Amino acid sequence: MSESEILNNRIEEALNSIRPYLQADGGNVELVEVKGEGDVVLRLTGACSSCEMSEMTMTAGIEETLRRAIPGLGSIVALKN
């Protein structure tokens, strides 16, 4: 397994730990890509894509979870549908 596959798997594991909370409110998050320097691009889906609190969810929930699980990630950005 390559380093990028290992990193992708670690990101998916971290996202899986918070998905139930997002799904409880009709939303979700998906991994779009990981760029060369460890920059992570996500997509907020469902209710999360239009929720006015999505920025707070992204910063306080998703980003914090990823940074705790995988120190040294670059930027973490979320696209909305």
Work out whether the CA dihedral 14, 17, 18, 19 comes out positive or negative: positive
Q: For residues 61 and 44, is the Cβ–Cβ distance under 8 A?
A: no
Question: Per-residue pLDDT tens for 28-44?
Answer: 999 999 998 899 999 99
User: What SS3 state is found at 71?
Assistant: coil
Write the pLDDT tens digit of every residue in 37-64: 899 999 999 998 888 888 888 888 999 9
The pTM is what? 0.91
Chain mean pLDDT for the chain: 92
**Run of H or E including 30:** strand 27-34
Q: Which domains does the chain have, with CATH numbers?
A: 3-80 (3.30.300.130)
Q: What distance in Å separates the CA atoms of residue 23 and residue 38, rounded to the nearest whole number?
A: 26
User: What φ, ψ does residue 2 adopt, rounded to 5°?
Assistant: -75, 165
